Structure 1
């Protein structure tokens, strides 16, 4: 990690972070990292020890994580909206130290917290003198898995500096995409603009106030942003690029996004905590076809499912068998279509709804419904059925109240006009509940 700190030192006056209206330059960031290195030595934190860090993005939080990596520790970032409860996470990973930041991310309290859990993979990493990173999967298709990475290997992907940009790290600090975003921004001496509140209003206001150039977000967030109309009320003209990933984008949402931001590059991204984030290039025709790969990554499609081999792959799960085959290929469980060098992601195997032996991808039904008037958001799920195995159910959020019978009729007519009859929702439910996790990713369960 020393190479990254050396790069910081080459731009001491350049803005590294904007946090709650205050700017921290790269020279100051180096001082904060060095200060934390002294603190770690004073507290007695040793190389190979597991250190849980409970916080959200803030300059000091990022600097502590870099200081821990520099010291050879195993970092376990946790957020207050974590996908797994703190005690449950640490019972899986183990812990030697617990560091909690105040809500503003300014003050860190170090506490000895010994939870002994032995893992052969961690022992091998420590024996090699390498820093580690433990993240937890969302658990959307089962119990959360603890994922172990070599921190240096993740960072090495960014040794080649790219164009500096001002960006909001939208995905949380306990998410691989969040770590990837921060390393990508800072390794190119860009500016990280933090947001404590990831609501549409707070993010849009932060873009306008701080002249943010890059917004990495989820399709669910972008759907809500377009529905809010805030992109028309606030000055978001600084945006040069919007990236979207972690779930399937609806073509109707992408079309509206292109219309709302005609001068902005829209880029689909693809990555998994297990293999890293691949370089991607969206097809320039405004479709959902994307080319993924890049240096350090190989891809192949087997039985319509995407497989990836990565130089930046995890070392393994701490509480589950590996999903890599003997040759190092990882089954992503994402079904895709292939057209030349491009793929179109249809959805996770676990999300497929089986109606009488016919496959239904929730995203294709959601795409049709999102194109209708008065629809704020929709989540399509499968419900058990005695004769068909499953039926399609659409949970819908409305912009303004509408008679349920009228809504159901509109949705069924639109779906039957665009899709096979078995894909049309057998049930339509009007819901006031959020369809999204704290990470702004769609929840598809009953």
Structure 2
């Protein structure tokens, strides 16, 4: 909605496709010489998987924005390598506060500067908090998400580098393995680099010894032997991740790992 209203208020043109598939969207980009494509990390991954970009002229495309969920670093870098002339910009916003201004450090960087007029940001114990003039009053029949001095607790775990932050993921999705924090997006980014992986969702499951263990659901591009693939995946991860981050349980699934809005289905610890 933010992109729609911003575009129209600046005398821009909005192109809408009936069926949001990579093919249809990129076909519209070529046909109408689209300059800005607002999307999600999940949809960018689908564009890469479909290879539909090979069939269309995308030279008009100047900027691709992404948000609503963490971006796997491997997906970002691969897209940037294919389209180095396109500016990739991470966006950040919340229904409770509105959309903040943002500036990515580089097109292939997950570090982003957020804020703008009417917004203040701070990081407390590794978690992002925001004060906004446009903030909601609160939730109905639910706990107050604001601090006593008016800062909204986003629940997003972040790193800081000067004015820039790197969003690691939701605090509620962190997997605690024997006291070590595991961020699902980091593991997903590694697994996404494997051949034949279409989509992957990493989540935690309770474990009597370590508290939680890392698990992964994987949708393959082509059918493969589940046992052999699981062994290969663990071997692949061991070369790139610390031992406690390597998935213990791997499930090969046939269901898509994203919603109709092209957002990854929420991970749930069980």
TM-score for the superposition, normalised by structure 1: 0.58
Match of 1:280 in 2: 102
Label 1:285 to 1:434 Cα distance change in 2 as closer, same or farther (>3 A).
closer
Distance 1:244 1:402 in 2: 32
Match of 1:396 in 2: 218
Give 2:45's aligned residue: 223
In 2, distance between residues paired with 1:355 and 1:340?
30
Say if 1:314 and 1:195 are closer, same or farther in 2 by CA, change over 3 A. farther
User: Taking CA–CA contacts closer than 8 Å with sequence separation of 6 or more, which of the two structures ends up with the larger relative contact order?
Assistant: 2
In structure 2, the partner of 1:93 is none
Cα deviation 1:212-271 (Å, max 9, x = unaligned): 111111101111111100011122222110011111101100111101212110001111
8 Å contact 2:87–2:107 — kept in the other structure?
A: no
Write out per-residue CA displacement over residues 53-77 of structure 1, whole angstroms, 9 at most, x where no aligned residue.
Answer: xxxxxxxxxxxxxxxxxxxxxxxxx
Pair 1:260 & 2:69 matched: no
In the alignment, which residue of structure 2 is the partner of 1:358?
Answer: 180
Partner of 1:420: 242
Counterpart of 2:133?
Answer: 311
**Residue 238 of structure 1 corresponds to which residue in structure 2?**
60
SS at match of 1:418: coil
SS at match of 1:407: helix
State the SS of the aligned residue for 2:239.
Answer: helix
Q: How does 1:16-415 map to 2 (within 5 A)?
A: 179-284=1-106, 286-415=108-237
Alpha carbons of structure 1 residues 285 and 261: separation in structure 2 relative to 1, 3 Å:
closer
The answer as to whether partners of 2:65 and 2:91 remain within 8 angstroms in 1 is: yes
Paired with 1:195 and 1:315, the residues of 2 have a C-alpha distance of 36
Cα deviations by residue, 1:108-145 (Å, 9 ceiling, x for unpaired): xxxxxxxxxxxxxxxxxxxxxxxxxxxxxxxxxxxxxx
SS in 2 for 1:316: coil
Q: Distance in 1 between matches of 2:9 and 2:150?
A: 28
Contact preservation (8 Å) 2:103, 2:114: yes
**Alignment partner, residue 20 of structure 1:** none
Structure richer in helix, relative to its length: 1
Aligned-pair distance for 1:423? Answer: 0.6
Structure 1: tracts of 5 or more residues without a match: 1-178
Name which one, 1 or 2, has greater alpha-carbon Rg: 1
When the two chains are superposed, the root-mean-square deviation of aligned CA atoms in Å is 1.5
Residue 193 of structure 1 aligns to a residue whose secondary structure is: coil
- The alpha carbon displacement at 1:391 in A equals 1.2
For the residues of structure 1 that align with 2:202 and 2:237, how far apart are their CA atoms? 12
1:319 and 1:180, CA in 2 relative to 1: closer, same or farther beyond 3 A?
farther
Q: Secondary structure at the match of 1:191?
A: coil
Return the offset for 1:200: 2.2
Residue by residue, what CA displacement relative to the aligned partner does 1:129-164 show, whole Å, maximum 9, x if unpaired?
A: xxxxxxxxxxxxxxxxxxxxxxxxxxxxxxxxxxxx
Shift of 1:284: 2.1
Is 1:440 the counterpart of 2:266? The answer is: no
TM-score (norm 2): 0.94
